[in-house]
Chain A
Amino acid sequence: MRIAYALAAALVCTVSLNAAVAQDAPTENDYYPMASFEIPDGINLEVGGIEWFNNRLAVSTRRGDIYLIENALADDVTAAKFSPFAIGLHEVLGLAQMDGWLYATQRCEVSRLNDNDHDGRADIIETVCDQWGITGDYHEYAMGSKFDRDGNIWVVLCLTGSFSSNAPFRGWCVRVTPDGEMIPTCSGIRSPGGIAANHLGDMFFTDNQGPWNGTCSLKHLKPGSFQGHPGGNVWYDRTSVIGPRPVEPNSGSRMMVEAERVPELVPPAIYFPYKKMGQSAAGIACDTTGGKFGPFEHQLFVADQTFSTVMRCCLEQVNGYYQGACFPFREGFGSGSLSVDFTPDGSLFVGGTNRGWGSRGNKPFALDRLRWSGGVPFEIHEMRAKPDGFELTFTEPVDAKTAGNPESYSLSTYTYIYQASYGSPEVDHTTPTIDRLDISSDGKSVRLFVTGLQKGHVHELHADGVRSEKGLPLLHKEAYYTLNFIPGE
């Protein structure tokens, strides 16, 4: 009811009453209300993996436990019932289910668990694949995906620390086949935060700011690719299923300069500018709910652990590479957002912890659920690159006067130093000009004609002045497009 009221209020107001609009402007919670789970005493739910399993919500934790939650979709989530499915595994950061088995990616292996006697607890914990190395360094996390179309689980393996790889395939993505074989798939990984496929089945992961990563980003795990951090490249000697070792990137260079030198190097599809769009990119979930979660079908939702947020990403392919934009989506999760997953009813579950790394959400661990209220927020739906600018699509028709006025927008660009030392400031700043705007006849799309597009730069757009036909400002006014390639160039 509250949403309906807010929208009605907005409709009554006119654009000239900006202050009133601002006061009554709808919030994230109006469109995507959050329910927070009450977690029973004695259970430490540092969520590392989420999966819908046998009509329950399976949640795995950094402490190595897997709980099943009954009634996890009920309106009143305090009634949630937790029961232990398996206790004492090794930091489970990935759950997937198939044929009645629950697959868990632990630090040391991918395992599958089954409850043969149906007493609610796993009675066999079978090792599917433990072919990667592990030294005992705490950084050596392993994060597992859901199944791909061939029945593989993809596992991204953090380096030993930030810089080097002390055991086989640390710093790599490997595929684990249904037979338990391990196929080294991509090199160049530093410190992953999450892994998931988009609706087309292409796999993505998030990597975190640090050596060879100027800022956090979303990267496409194209088989055979090098993802940018050469620390793990020693292991090319151990595999023949991937090409020869790529040449070393030059430190202190720029990503797109090196991408031309190093053919295997796939540039990050989307940068999350540091401290603007979080600080620790984490779990990924693709909206394949068929509209149950609102107007963002097929977009990727990416958690940020430090900011306790979930961001939204739209992707397109240019020159055969993924690139796209990220937008703020929802803030205010209870702890550091680490794992995200959709359930079949169209809910987005977000769980996490701030153990070891602080977060804005101040609980030590939390499990929250987002649902779509049914109202359509006024948002930039997608941002697409054009040879001469960008195309913005909106979730609602725009007000032609404000959306057609170049002063409603500001656009700046920058990139990052691609270097062996830790992170990078934003560098090479430019300010392109928006020469002209075209609004489509249905009012849901705006073309920006821009002089001064910068290949390889983040294009940071603020559309503060744009109003919807109904007079509402954008729920989130900013967009960050990673323009690795300019179409047609």
Chain B
Amino acid sequence: MKSRYESAKNVFIDSVDLEDYIELESSQAAYRQLEHSIGKPLKMILLFGRPGTGKSILLNRLQNKLEHQREIHYFDTPAVNEKEFFQKLFKVLTKKSLPQNTEVNFSALVNYCKKLRGKREIIIILDEAQMYGAEMMEKIRLLSDSRAVKFIVSLHKTDDEDLIAKEHFQSRIWEVVELKNASFQDQSSYIHKKLLKKNLFEIANSIKVRDLKLIHKFTRGNFRECNKMMYTIFEICEYYDKNEPTKITYERIPVRIIEMAALKLGYINV
């Protein structure tokens, strides 16, 4: 027999799926700021925040919404090496594939971009940009100087990566959009809306304010951690529902299960 918690568990499988995108106050504000920045004559825009703050899904949504209005391309995974990156870029700019056994001449590419100025405005979204090396980032900057290509660079904000951001990007005049961890209100809305989107009203209703506070405390408002936490909670609930139904009630999620999930994920230790 299928447990009701199975569907709930699957809601929180971590993915960058636009269908799962949840409109939140904070993400709406960040989206509007990004959209506004794109309209400005900026060469590069920096989107940064700690891992799991929703950068990727926000960029994904941006691309999805603007793809019919602008020439916008989303590089979701960083290229393995410089050669591969410029091959991808060549294809975007020229709309042609690079012939086999050939390499992109960077200087020629820059000149090509300069010729495009005033004719085309290409927006390239680079997710996980902390993976690109300093030399590569310098070349990206040179390309953006052509003013024909605009880059939206997404960076993880960790202590080291913050340093990179300062060194490589702060000297340029860029727009900076920062995504922060969700507030309690935002995270609560996120959890409820996710469940309601899949018509899991009763389960959404079984998560009380106290539980949400506890979840927010453990995950610190991080969406990725929240997804993991919710998935684990419903996984435990599913187990009890199937094997030891006396240990669970449908009215509310026991605190014990939330704490067990936190233990399993290492948020708390014995």
Pairing of A with B = no
